[in-house]
Amino acid sequence: MSLITRKFKEIRKNRLAYFLILPATLCLAIVLFYPLFKVFYMSFFEIEPLYYKEPIFAGIKNFQKILSDSRFKGTLLQTAYWTFGSVALQFIIGLAAALIINEVFWGRGLARALLLVPWAMPAVVGAFSWKWMWHGEYGVVNHILKTLHLIPHNINWLGGISTAMAACIITNTWRGFPFMMIMLLAGLQNIPKELYDASSIDGASVGQELRYITLPLLKPVILVTTLLAGIWTFNNFAYIYILTGGGPGGKTDILVTFIYKQGFRFFHFGYAAALSVALFFMILAFSLLYIKIMRLESPFS
């Protein structure tokens, strides 16, 4: 029996298996893979519905435009600031929360439930609540900071060039830290208590325990959760769009809002497609890294 007929027989034998995955695969093919193919194709055309009726072949012109676009460079830097800033803060606060909750004390379940509120409420509602809290005149953030005498006057947080991105990052940190906390808490509870007993006999300080026991043993969980949080933040269109719309003056634009604007505000569809291709390769790099780490040190096995 030749190889081909053997493979064919194998496929026939498992036809139920293929039949069962067919609907799901079809959905992915129509809504994910065909558009993905199309976006690559579109990126080689000038598609300007305001000026020309038909797309015009442009070769690599759109990609050259990306390289020379100073706003793109600015956006890329802002995306990095947004992603790393959010994930770093989410991690620090999530770890602190997990460590505190892990210390046994009264009311632990309630504390954990309350800390999960940002994650449990609809994402969009969280963003709107914060937009209202950052309000320049009637915002509760200004009110609290003035009561504590930390600022003399009201600050227009989301409208100021120097404060807008920081405000967005704080908002996104609020949204994302509960996920970190839950994952790290699960990791902490897997660390054998004997290790801490041994280290306290040896006279280790709290800081040394954190440095030499807790963090090294949490490393697999930390890697996976920070990478996931990074991908989510990198792609978080809704928060930026709702909070600032990318403003003031594009100072809070991140890659995904920049693409949206190029396409649906300025109608440069070809250029937006080329930007999407660039985005695709960045996400691919992220994903491959993620899969590699998952395989190397799966914390869930």
Partner 1 sequence: MAPVRRLVIKCILLTLLVILILWAVLPFFWMVSTSFKTTEETYTVPLVWIPRYPTIKNFLYVVKRAPFLTYFRNSVVVAVSTTVIAIILASLAGYSFSRFKFLGGHSLLLIFLITQMFPGALLIIPLFQIIKALKLLNTLYALVLSYITFSLPLCTWLMKGFFDQIPQELEEAAMIDGCSRVSAMVRVIFPLALPGVMAASIFSFIGAWDEFIFALIFTSTDKARTLPVGLQRFITSYEIYWNHLGAASVLTTIPVVILFLFIQRHMVKGLTAGSVKG
Subset of 160-189 contacting partner 1 (CB under 8 A): 174, 178
Site size toward partner 1, by CB under 8 A: 79
**52: helix, strand or coil:** coil
Among 138, 192, 265, 297, binds partner 1 (CB under 8 A): 138
Query: What is the rounded distance in angstroms from the CA atom of residue 176 to the CA atom of residue 212?
Result: 27
Among 1, 4, 5, 23, binds partner 1 (CB under 8 A): 23
Q: Do residues 130 and 243 touch, judged by C-beta distance below 8 A?
A: yes
Give 57's strand partners.
45
Residues 195-224, mask of contacts with partner 1 (x by CB under 8 A): ------------------------------
Is the Cβ of residue 77 or residue 113 nearer to partner 1 in the bound state? Answer: 113
Q: Do residues 78 and 165 touch, judged by C-beta distance below 8 A?
A: yes
Is the Cβ of residue 36 or residue 60 nearer to partner 1 in the bound state? Answer: 36
Rounded to 10 deg, the angle between the 164-188 and 108-115 helix axes is 140
Query: What is the rounded distance in angstroms from the CA atom of residue 283 to the CA atom of residue 285?
Result: 5
Residue 57 lies near partner 1 (rule: CB under 8 A): no
Residue 95 lies near partner 1 (rule: CB under 8 A): no
Residue 60 lies near partner 1 (rule: CB under 8 A): no
Take residue 144 and report the two structure tokens written for it.
Answer: 């609290």
Q: What's the farthest any 2 CA atoms get from each other in the chain? A: 85
Query: What is the rounded distance in angstroms from the CA atom of residue 60 to the CA atom of residue 58?
Result: 6
Residue 246 lies near partner 1 (rule: CB under 8 A): no
Residue 114 lies near partner 1 (rule: CB under 8 A): yes
Residue 291 lies near partner 1 (rule: CB under 8 A): yes
Q: CA–CA distance from 165 to each of 59, 79, 247 (Å)?
A: 36, 10, 9
Tokens 């620090």 label which residue? 92
Residue 54 lies near partner 1 (rule: CB under 8 A): no
Residue 52 lies near partner 1 (rule: CB under 8 A): no
Residue 93 lies near partner 1 (rule: CB under 8 A): yes
CA-wise closest residue to 290 among 239, 224, 241, 242:
224
Among 72, 82, 157, 269, binds partner 1 (CB under 8 A): 269
Residue 266 lies near partner 1 (rule: CB under 8 A): no
* Interface stretch with partner 1, choices 56-64, 66-74, 76-84, 230-238 (CB under 8 A): 230-238
Residue 264 lies near partner 1 (rule: CB under 8 A): yes
Query: What is the rounded distance in angstroms from the CA atom of residue 170 to the CA atom of residue 70?
Result: 27
Take residue 269 and report the two structure tokens written for it.
Answer: 């569809």
Among 1, 2, 4, 10, binds partner 1 (CB under 8 A): 10
Residue 80 lies near partner 1 (rule: CB under 8 A): no
